[in-house]
Amino acid sequence: MSVQMTWADQDEDVIADIEDMFIENPDILKDKMARNKLFRAVQDGDFDTDELSVMSQPAKRRKDKNIPPELQEQWEKDRQKKAENKRARALARLVLAANPFAQHKGGKKGQKAMLAAARLDADIEISNRVVDLVSLEQQIRRFLTDIGGKREMVLPPADKETRKRVHELAAAFNLKSQSRGNGASRYTTLIKTSRSGIQINEKKVPKEVEAARTWRNTVKGGGREGCAEDCPASPIPPPDVPIPVVVLATPPSDPPPPYHPASGAYA
């Protein structure tokens, strides 16, 4: 049965009912949620007597209340160990994705891991990691001297300009280069050939490295392709200026011939 009550109507009866409920059910003051719900109902002056009976019921006991402390402690240790193992596996995936000589997984998961590894701080030391074109040159030379080793070298995702420099640098070492993926996850793979490492263009290598020392891998949508983040915007055109209308005067035409009403014809 719902009763609409306010402090202006039967306030003494309301106070008496609440006091009786607290006396009969002292546990309601121990339950924070039930206590706040009751106080809000009293403050608004709009509550249901059935709701009061439900709120007056003691709070449910915790499921693990009767579990021995030793077992609870063991569960907590297992939970922490699982969380630590999960962090260790995540770190191992990042290290694997950042290593250009490792076997990388394909598909969306592999590209996601490579993107996460590329976003790591450049100061974090990971074996064989490529963070700029200087480190790329070092890893390429190591790649070429490893006779009988890996035939492919997978680089981190990069923007279009950086990939262009990578292709030029690979050509200087006579390496084959292929770009794969889409958008921000597009990356380049270097592949050994029978001519790789022979007659290296040592003049071209430093030029490409110095032209773009940083490794840019952030692709922002909405911008013009090939424009850096700090490139100046196009100038705003001036407001429209009214164009004066030029009225061309038409040459006067010859006057019509005189009209003779009697004959009904022109002369």
Instruction: Give the pLDDT of residue 176.
Output: 94
Of 29, 27, 5, 8, which is closest to residue 17 (Cα–Cα)?
Answer: 5
Q: What is the pTM of this model?
A: 0.49
Instruction: Determine the distance from the C-alpha atom of residue 50 to the mean position of all C-alpha atoms in its chain, rounded to a whole number.
Output: 49
Instruction: Give the pLDDT of residue 115.
Output: 77
Return all residues near 151 (Cβ < 8 A) that are at least 6 apart.
191, 192
Digit-by-digit pLDDT tens for the chain (267 residues) are 444 554 455 556 666 666 666 666 666 666 667 667 766 766 666 655 555 555 555 555 556 667 888 888 898 999 999 999 988 888 888 888 887 877 776 677 777 777 777 777 777 777 778 888 888 999 999 999 988 888 999 998 888 998 999 999 999 999 999 998 888 888 899 999 999 988 899 988 888 888 766 676 654 443 334 443 444 444 444 545 454 544 444 555 555 566 555 555 555
Q: Which structural domains are found in the chain, ordered by start?
A: 9-55 (no CATH), 91-211 (3.30.1370.50)
Instruction: Give the pLDDT of residue 236.
Output: 47
- The whole-angstrom separation of Cα 104 and Cα 97 is 7
